[in-house]
Amino acid sequence: MLIRVLGSAAGGGFPQWNCGCPNCRGVREGTIRASARTQECVAVSADGSDGCVLLNCSPEVRGQIESAPALHPRAPRHSPIAAILLTNGDLDHCLGLLSLRESHRLIVYATDAVERGFTRGNVLYRTLERFPGQVTWRLLKVGHEDDIVDVDGRTTGLTAEAVAVPGKAPVHLEGRSPADPGDSVGFRIREARTGRVLAYLSGVASVTEAVRQAIAHADAVFFDGTFWSSDELSASGLGTKRAEEMAHLPVGGPTGSLAQLAGVRAGRRIYIHVNNSNPMLREDSRERAAVAAAGWEVAWDGMEVRL
């Protein structure tokens, strides 16, 4: 299995267009040790397969596809993207679907709640309904392992199991419908031939038993690295919400994910969906050193992980 990180930042990217925080300013000006990052999107392919599966579809998907030769078309109208999986309905995870509207059939795997949130009452979605069968939705059920096939039913060599993770509906749908366990999920992606497993949990509000089980013995784990601390935004005047209110467990501190997952038995452990305010983006920060000392890595755009 080959995992290519196309985008590793949280919503807004790094730097964020309207942010002049020390991180964003520093990366623009080249005065800090950190690299720019686009919003979260990851491509996964089974060995020997020329199709790949996108995990989330960011607003920057066009540029992300261009940045990866393996995702370039091989015929006048073609894409190696065989399927798209969505972890939740946050715009940084699904807005890119609307950018893939050029009369190309798509197959999208998501929970019922995420599908409804994206398609119902969304006049822009009509751009993906230009012809019958433009988008095929495959509804994922938590705890079920599904074969990931392309729009013509050909296997990608990968299966996906949706994992329940504590999360919430996207901001633009808050208050519209009751909370649903399918609002936000993670995935266990398994390569059928080798049995190798990628645990992909890019949005996690707390570590539950289900989260632990999803991670246990995975060959690689991608985990929510949005914030270092709960009050990261308010402390620097960037916002008022705490990390937990945004359904993101911080990385640092005594109850952070680094401490809670200290004993986890898994292969490569990588933080992704990193917000531009997070001090661990700086390669010479003490926060980055703490992450590295615990055996974790921080994803970057262009990172490849082979399992």
Q: What residues line the site for Zn ion (CB under 5 A)?
A: 19, 21, 24, 276
Specify the residue, 24 or 264, whose C-beta has the smaller distance to Zn ion. Answer: 24
Specify the residue, 79 or 278, whose C-beta has the smaller distance to Zn ion. Answer: 278
Query: Residues near 286 by Cβ (< 8 Å), separated by ≥ 6?
Result: none
Q: How far is the CB of 29 from Zn ion (least distance, A)?
A: 13
Contact criterion met (CB below 8 Å) for 53 and 24:
no
Nearest to 276 by CA among 238, 230, 235, 221: 238
Q: How far apart are CA 210 and CA 68, in angstroms?
A: 33
Nearest to 263 by CA among 228, 226, 216: 216
Specify the residue, 15 or 89, whose C-beta has the smaller distance to Zn ion. Answer: 15
Q: How far is the CB of 190 from Zn ion (least distance, A)?
A: 36
CA dihedral 235, 238, 240, 242 (to 10 degrees): -60
Q: How far is the CB of 201 from Zn ion (least distance, A)?
A: 24
Q: How far is the CB of 251 from Zn ion (least distance, A)?
A: 17
Specify the residue, 60 or 191, whose C-beta has the smaller distance to Zn ion. Answer: 60
Q: How far is the CB of 275 from Zn ion (least distance, A)?
A: 8
Specify the residue, 36 or 210, whose C-beta has the smaller distance to Zn ion. Answer: 36
Query: Residues near 95 by Cβ (< 8 Å), separated by ≥ 6?
Result: 57, 58, 59
